[in-house]
Amino acid sequence: MKCEEMLRMLNDYVDGEIDPAICDQFESHLEDCNPCQIVVDTIRNTIKLYKDGEVFEMPLAFREKLHQTLRERWSKKIENP
Amino acid sequence: MPLLNASPIKKDQDAPFVAKAKNGDFSAFETLVNRHEKRLYRFAMNLLQNQEDAEDVVQSTFISVLEHLHTFREEATFATWITRIASNTALKLLRKQKNTPISLDEATDENEEGFIPHPDFIADWRHDPSKQIEQRELQSILDKAIETLPEKHRLVFMLRDVVEMRIDETGKALGISNANVKVRLLRARLALREILTRRFGDESKRIFQTHNHGEAHSDKTSARLLFQSYQE
Ligand SMILES: [Zn+2]
């Protein structure tokens, strides 16, 4: 398997959706090809950072307005279910 | 440095609050809002790149959650459920703003199909950025990186890798084929990897395209092969 083919199958491999037979070839290529291994690792790191991203500052004025709106909607819902 | 560990299946920690909120407890509902509002806001900002739109999406999402909480059957986690609502709301807004789903069309992708930019900065990361960099700074780095992507790539990346939609769901949500989802996702992931590796990669161990004249070192040899094949 060539590096270029690896690149085309990168998504399937990273997502665990690769054909098992091809997966073996993919992994044996990784054992011998450090650059491809690094690309796989750094792609995974990248996805993980975005997936795990948590807190973000939310504008305080918006937060207050949001909670006020929700409180009003909640009362309305309770009154007219 | 692989950071990805198989994560154990977690119980939905929101479930007790969902149950209380379903029974009419506003403070339980507000706890759910407190837990998720920042994440949704960030998600909407990444998707829409506009503060006013992001606020609209977050507010509409929680109103919709409030109105439809009784229909939530808890087959997915609460977090997943509301993220889906938020992404549908955001996509609806994008479509409305554009009148037609211009940037979501397929035609422009035809030529791109065969072209995948090769990785350029190849180096292991020096450390786990989520442990070594202050959260706020890390977020700003991640947000700036995703801002640089064309919208059509950004949307696919967000839906697939952040919302964790399946390929066919992503295609359906955006009105594009599964093949296009895959191509756009690969391009988005590679582009983000490139930006983040420039920032977090260990410069001293970078594998260069040029250091390969007659050297037997296996890493460098395979690096050369890698680039040759990418450039063909
Ligand atoms: Zn390779």
Cα(B86) to centroid(ligand 1), Å = 39
Do residue B134 and residue B80 come from a single domain? no
Do residue B62 and residue B169 come from a single domain? no
Chain B residue numbers touching A38 (CB-CB < 8 A): 122-124, 207
| Residues B184 and B175 sit within 8 Å (Cβ to Cβ) | no
Residue B136's domain is classified under what CATH number?
1.10.10.10
Half-sphere exposure of B167 (CA within 13 A, CB side): 15
Do residue B122 and residue B182 come from a single domain? yes
Alpha carbons B94 and B154: distance in angstroms, whole number: 13
Do residue B228 and residue B140 come from a single domain? yes
A vs B, Cβ pairs < 8 A, gives 159
Report the domain count for chain B.
Answer: 2
Q: For residue B142, is it within any domain?
A: yes
Query: Mutate which of B25, B31, B36, B37 to disrupt the A interface (most A C-beta within 10 Å)?
Result: B37
| Domain edge (last residue) among B100, B127, B156 | B100
CB atoms within 10 A of CB B131: 8
Token pair 């700003």: residue: B140
Reported ipTM? 0.85
Q: Residue B141, exposed/middle/buried by CB under 10 A (0-12, 13-18, 19+)? A: middle
Alpha carbons A44 and A49: distance in angstroms, whole number: 9
Cα(B158) to centroid(ligand 1), Å = 27
Q: Chain A contact for B131, CB < 8 A?
A: no
Q: Which residue, among B132, B131, B185, has the nearest Cα to B157 in the 3D structure?
A: B185
* Yes or no, beta carbons of A42 and B116 under 8 Å apart: no
Residue B92's domain is classified under what CATH number?
1.10.1740.10
* Yes or no, beta carbons of B123 and A33 under 8 Å apart: no
* pLDDT per residue as tens, chain B (232 positions): 444 444 444 578 999 999 999 999 999 999 999 999 988 998 898 888 899 999 999 999 999 999 999 999 988 899 889 988 999 999 999 888 876 554 444 445 545 555 788 899 999 999 899 888 888 899 899 989 999 999 999 999 999 998 888 899 899 888 899 999 999 999 999 999 999 999 999 999 898 754 333 333 344 444 444 444 443 3
Query: Mutate which of B43, B69, B118, B190 to disrupt the A interface (most A C-beta within 10 Å)?
Result: B190
Domain that holds residue B36: 12-100
Do residue B79 and residue B135 come from a single domain? no
Q: For residue B69, is it within any domain?
A: yes
| Residues B181 and B153 sit within 8 Å (Cβ to Cβ) | no
Do residue B118 and residue B86 come from a single domain? no
pTM, whole model, 2 decimals? 0.77
Domain that holds residue A50: 3-79
pLDDT of residue A81: 67
Cα(B211) to centroid(ligand 1), Å = 17
Q: First-to-last CA distance in chain B?
A: 29
Q: Chain B contact for A50, CB < 8 A?
A: yes
CA distance A79 to chain B (A): 11
Cα(B38) to centroid(ligand 1), Å = 40
* Yes or no, beta carbons of A42 and B124 under 8 Å apart: yes
pLDDT of residue B111: 52
Do residue B67 and residue B151 come from a single domain? no
CA distance A9 to chain B (A): 9
Q: For residue B50, is it within any domain?
A: yes
Mean pLDDT, residues A9-13 taken together: 92
| Residues A71 and B64 sit within 8 Å (Cβ to Cβ) | no
Report the domain count for chain A.
Answer: 1
Q: Residue B185, exposed/middle/buried by CB under 10 A (0-12, 13-18, 19+)? A: buried
- Which pair of tokens denotes residue B19? 């149950």
| Residues B104 and B174 sit within 8 Å (Cβ to Cβ) | yes
pLDDT of residue B164: 83
- Which pair of tokens denotes residue A54? 């948590």
List of residues 6+ apart from B164 with CB closer than 8 A: A51, B80
CB atoms within 10 A of CB B120: 15
Cα(A30) to centroid(ligand 1), Å = 6
Q: Kindly list the distances between the CA atom of residue A34 and the CA atoms of B196, B207, B212, in Å, as whole numbers in the listed order.
A: 19, 9, 14
